[in-house]
């Protein structure tokens, strides 16, 4: 069994690798080559945290299964612990043996950020120059890197509802941004962050929309990554109405979990028929993506375990090829 730490993973797996792995996962899902039940969510007794189990099997060249054990405990922030800790087990599709254990927190950060990166790759205008990032939590550094990997951005405006966090984040991430030639600008208001942005990523735990759709410029692409329960939403209804094309990563999972769609659907203000398709369908050419430069496009993700299995299998392959990680016998 191969054990891979955060350091091991980052040594062999880049954000571009993660974006391409996610694209493959979307295609395998759309082609029906992946078996993935809905995520199992369990609240702790105090209702202060949620423990989730995400199993999947992927056929084809990978022939691998796995389960990610991931939690969301908002109180961890004050304890100096990850808000979304996780561990990933990879299972060999031929023997059924657990072949690797990975730091699932790093895996989640990479594959989740890469969803937004893949969406920007596929839907944002090629000349996108200004980005906006909502949220500065544990997911934010990878989300920022994904934005800058997908498009050559001159500027990214960062907003967080908690005072001072955007400024601190911009200072912390300046070395990474400098590598991409991108300037990080803390925004004092959502309007300041959104105005003029060509591509926007929201990665918050907000219960209500984090910006006003009227502030979004023509031609913008928006990816909603954060809120993933039926009672919470980051994206305003007006944005869904304004969008030329609305995409999801996994239609079944989004319609079961994403309050961004579920809340307006219960109010009779949005229909699942208004979803243009999944990213896998877009990659395979089964549905149309952006048509015009001024189209506003939206992609909502809640994540699904196929992404974890594909990314983890790719990481394990690269790590073994590079002699990275620790082999153990149980």
- Is residue 168 located within the same domain as residue 281? yes
CATH number at residue 241: 3.40.50.720
Q: Are the C-beta atoms of 235 and 300 separated by less than 8 Å?
A: yes
Question: Measured between alpha carbons, how far is 315 from 310 in angstroms, rounded to an integer?
Answer: 9
CATH number at residue 97: 3.30.1780.10
Does residue 98 fall inside a structural domain?
Answer: yes
Q: What is the pLDDT of residues 211-267, one digit of tens each?
A: 999 999 999 999 999 987 889 999 999 999 999 999 999 998 899 989 999 999 999
- Is residue 25 located within the same domain as residue 94? yes
Distant-in-sequence, close-in-space partners of 268: CB < 8 Å, separation ≥ 6: none
Question: Measured between alpha carbons, how far is 261 from 271 in angstroms, rounded to an integer?
Answer: 8
- Is residue 121 located within the same domain as residue 182? yes
- Is residue 235 located within the same domain as residue 314? no
- Is residue 261 located within the same domain as residue 138? yes
Enclosing H/E stretch for 70: strand 64-72
SS3 content of the chain, % helix, strand, coil (to 5): 40, 20, 40
Please state the domain count of the chain: 2
Q: What are phi and psi of 192, to 5 degrees?
A: -65, -35
Ramachandran sector of residue 111 (left: φ over 0; alpha: ψ -120 to 50; beta: rest)? alpha
- Is residue 88 located within the same domain as residue 125? no
- Nearest CA to 240 among 228, 252, 258? 258
For residues 46, 52, 53 and 58, what is the CA-based torsion angle, rounded to 10 degrees? 180
pLDDT at site 192? 98
Return the DSSP state at 53: E
**Domain boundaries, position 264:** 117-303
Does residue 211 fall inside a structural domain?
Answer: yes
- Is residue 320 located within the same domain as residue 198? no
Does residue 180 fall inside a structural domain?
Answer: yes
Does residue 283 fall inside a structural domain?
Answer: yes
pTM for this entry: 0.91
- Is residue 53 located within the same domain as residue 168? no
Q: What is the mean pLDDT of each run of 10 residues along the chain (330 residues)?
A: 97 98 95 89 93 94 95 90 91 96 95 97 98 94 97 98 96 97 98 98 94 97 91 95 95 91 94 95 97 97 93 97 94
What residues form DSSP beta bridges with 221? 199, 297
Does residue 112 fall inside a structural domain?
Answer: no
- Nearest CA to 290 among 277, 309, 272, 303? 277
CB atoms within 10 A of CB 184: 23
Tokens of 154: 């001159």
- Is residue 127 located within the same domain as residue 141? yes
- Is residue 189 located within the same domain as residue 291? yes
Q: What is the pLDDT of residues 192-214, one digit of tens each?
A: 999 999 999 999 989 999 999 99
- Is residue 10 located within the same domain as residue 61? yes
- Is residue 42 located within the same domain as residue 179? no
């Amino acid at each position: 069994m191969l054990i891979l730490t955060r350091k091991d993973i980052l040594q062999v797996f880049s954000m571009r690798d993660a974006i391409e792995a996610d694209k493959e996962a979307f295609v395998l899902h759309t082609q029906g080559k992946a078996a993935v039940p809905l995520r199992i969510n369990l609240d702790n007794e105090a209702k202060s945290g949620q423990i989730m189990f995400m199993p999947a099997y992927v056929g084809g060249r990978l022939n691998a299964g796995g389960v990610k054990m991931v939690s969301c405990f908002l109180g961890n922030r004050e304890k100096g612990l990850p808000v979304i800790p996780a561990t990933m087990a990879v299972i060999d599709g031929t023997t059924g043996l657990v072949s690797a254990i990975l730091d699932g927190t790093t895996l989640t950060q990479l594959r989740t950020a890469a969803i937004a990166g893949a969406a920007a790759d596929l839907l944002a205008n090629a000349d996108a120059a200004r980005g906006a990032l909502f949220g500065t939590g544990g997911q934010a550094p990878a989300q920022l890197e994904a934005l800058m990997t997908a498009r050559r951005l001159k500027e990214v405006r960062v907003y967080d509802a908690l005072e001072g966090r955007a400024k601190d984040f911009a200072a912390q991430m300046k070395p990474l941004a400098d590598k991409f030639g991108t300037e990080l600008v803390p925004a004092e208001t959502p309007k300041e962050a959104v105005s003029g942005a060509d591509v926007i990523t929201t990665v918050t735990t907000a219960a209500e929309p984090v910006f006003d759709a009227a502030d979004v410029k023509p031609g913008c692409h928006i990816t909603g990554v954060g809120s993933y329960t039926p009672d919470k939403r980051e994206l305003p209804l007006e944005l869904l109405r304004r969008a030329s094309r609305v995409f999801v990563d996994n239609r079944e999972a989004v319609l079961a979990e994403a309050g961004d769609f579920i809340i307006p659907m219960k109010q009779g203000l949005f229909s699942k028929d208004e979803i243009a398709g999944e990213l896998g369908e877009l990659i395979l050419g089964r549905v149309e993506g952006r048509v015009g430069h001024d189209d506003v496009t939206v992609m909502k993700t809640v994540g699904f375990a196929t992404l974890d299995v594909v990314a983890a299998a790719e990481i394990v392959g690269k790590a073994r090829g590079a002699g990275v990680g620790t082999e153990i016998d149980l």
